[in-house]
Amino acid sequence: MLDRNWFSEAMDGTGSAISLKITGKLHEETSNYQKIEVYETTEWGNLMVIDDCTMVSTRDNFLYHEMMSHPALFTHPAPKNVAIIGGGDCGTLREVLKHTEVEHATQIDIDERVTRVSEIYFPELCESNNDPRAELLFIDGIKWMQEAQPGSLDVIIVDSTDPVGPGKVLFSAAFYKACFEALGEDGVMVQQSESPLLHEELIRCMSADMHKAGFFATRLLSFPQPIYPSGWWSATMAGKGGLDTFRADAARERSFETRYYNEGIHLGALATPQFLHDL
Amino acid sequence: MLDRNWFSEAMDGTGSAISLKITGKLHEETSNYQKIEVYETTEWGNLMVIDDCTMVSTRDNFLYHEMMSHPALFTHPAPKNVAIIGGGDCGTLREVLKHTEVEHATQIDIDERVTRVSEIYFPELCESNNDPRAELLFIDGIKWMQEAQPGSLDVIIVDSTDPVGPGKVLFSAAFYKACFEALGEDGVMVQQSESPLLHEELIRCMSADMHKAGFFATRLLSFPQPIYPSGWWSATMAGKGGLDTFRADAARERSFETRYYNEGIHLGALATPQFLHDL
């Protein structure tokens, strides 16, 4: 049994829970959209929790943020314009802006409070928020995408919560269609797609819906993410013109620091577990 | 907070816990060596717990057992004689015997009760126990290794508990030296080496000690393992003559079923996360 000294997320239907030992609650508020909490943990730094689901810990967020950004950016031949839907903690934005060829990155998260809380408790994730190439919008990302100029984006990163509540509409063929239209001809989108072990059906549907929306190819990226259910997470990449364009040399000779990502990790993350291959 | 309907393992010093929802306890005994429990879970099948640490669940053990066996066996040029130290649940033995070129596999676990309990609650892991090529010994594996005929083994798999209590001596230069002597010239050993995120120091020391024992090369394999701390696990391979001998064609054209392992997963597991590369 785990007592009040632990924060636990027991994910519905998975029969499993991930817990971190905490020393106290640093913050709690209910924004216009959701409940936002921050805990101080004993070994994992700060922990942000939204609507009772773990979102980000200081210790392990690098895995998720690096894998949500670098594979897609090194797959597009020349990423200049990037949009991040969700991503209010700003960790993905930071990784995107490490790519010097990116000229403009727009983060569109409906809830400004997530970013304001992140600025206080995860300042390292927000260190590029004042980059002149960064634009932070706090509006409806789906509407923004529907109204984006066709062909204007190179990479779209959907850094969303789980496919329940306000995040659900981000997991729909209609949204993928809007992304498809907003992307240029070499455009790449990537979206978090839950656990390979626990959410096979979601992964299958997402890929099918992306194809239906017009994308030529999809690929699953899998990677460890200790504070998410099963500790094993994934993102699905979709390419308008294909995805066989990994710039391996650029990844190997990248000018910035990473903690998880490198060329080998990129290729390894693309390997398909046999049980998913057999689907 | 998680109540009595959950089994939780809170790992010392990691500030994290993994929990599975349970419907009841199926078995409990204290053998001559350790406390062995089996729980029935809601979503993960049966769960074996030894000295309060999760060992095996029906649902996710395939990840661990496949990665403890197939990479090493497909790296050795012609594995005929295999020894498994520990591995009393027999899941590794089953994977090893899928390789038709293996002529003899000896499993040496000090605690016969683990195997007897596994036969009842994890019968699928024990389905090769009566294979004429299998030999199950319930004696001290370290002593067995020290007395093994020099050069008599092709692959050694150390499928042990954590480096505490009775398992600790398996994480020592003296034991690696005994393994080195027992292996033939192309010999490969592989040993579970805990979490890449939580146990960097152990991983570093194990590799250094293997080199000291005479091994020419070591490589880390990393893979998901949801019920172990951080959900991310590793094994360290050591090669007497080197490890650049992956039989990729044989792995691709393997005659047996796997659920996680395939050629791509093998190569992907060998990719080194940047933070370990930087060590």
Question: What topology does CATH give the domain A61-276?
Answer: Rossmann fold (3.40.50)
Q: Which residues on A lie below 8 Å from B23 (Cβ)?
A: none
Domain ranges of chain B: 6-57, 61-276
Range from A201-205, A235-239, B38-42, B99-103 carrying the lowest mean pLDDT: A201-205
The answer on whether B109 is annotated among ligand-binding residues is yes
Q: Which residues on A lie below 8 Å from B271 (Cβ)?
A: 262, 264-265, 267-268
pLDDT score of A257? 98
pLDDT score of B2? 84
A218 pLDDT above the threshold of 80:
yes
Q: Which of B60, B111, B154, B159 is catalytic?
A: B159
* Interval B187-210: pLDDT, tens: 999 999 999 999 999 999 999 999
**A12: pLDDT confidence band, cut at 50, 70 and 90?**
confident
Q: Which residues contact A200 (CB under 8 A, 6 or more apart)?
A: A275, A276, A279
pLDDT score of A168? 79
pTM above 0.90, yes or no: yes
Please write down the HEC assignment for all residues of chain A: CECCCEEEEEECCCCEEEEEEEEEEEEEEECCCCEEEEEEECCCCEEEEECCEEEEECCCHHHHHHHHHHHHHHHCCCCCEEEEEECCCCHHHHHHHCCCCCCEEEEECCCHHHHHHHHHHCHHHHCCCCCCCEEEECCCHHHHHHHCCCCCEEEEEEECCCCCHHHHHHCCHHHHHHHHHHEEEEEEEEEECCCCCCCHHHHHHHHHHHHHCCCCEEEEEEEECCCCHHHEEEEEEEECCCCCCCCHHHHHCCCCCCCCCCHHHHHHHCCCCHHHHCC
* pLDDT < 50: residue spans in chain B: none
With an 8 Å Cβ cutoff, are B43 and A18 in contact?
Answer: no
pLDDT score of B279? 78
Percent above pLDDT 70 for chain B: 99
The answer on whether B162 is annotated among ligand-binding residues is yes
A227 pLDDT above the threshold of 90:
yes
* Interval B227-241: pLDDT, tens: 999 999 999 999 999
ipTM rounded to 2 decimals: 0.95
pLDDT score of B5? 93
* Interval A44-83: pLDDT, tens: 999 999 999 999 999 999 999 999 999 999 999 999 999 9
pLDDT score of A264? 98
Q: Which of A154, A159, A244, A249 is catalytic?
A: A159
pLDDT score of B166? 67
Question: What topology does CATH give the domain A6-57?
Answer: Spermidine Synthase; Chain: A, domain 2 (2.30.140)
- Min Cα distance A92 → chain B (Å) is 18
Active site residue B111: no
* Interval A165-183: pLDDT, tens: 767 788 888 999 999 999 9
pLDDT score of A13? 86
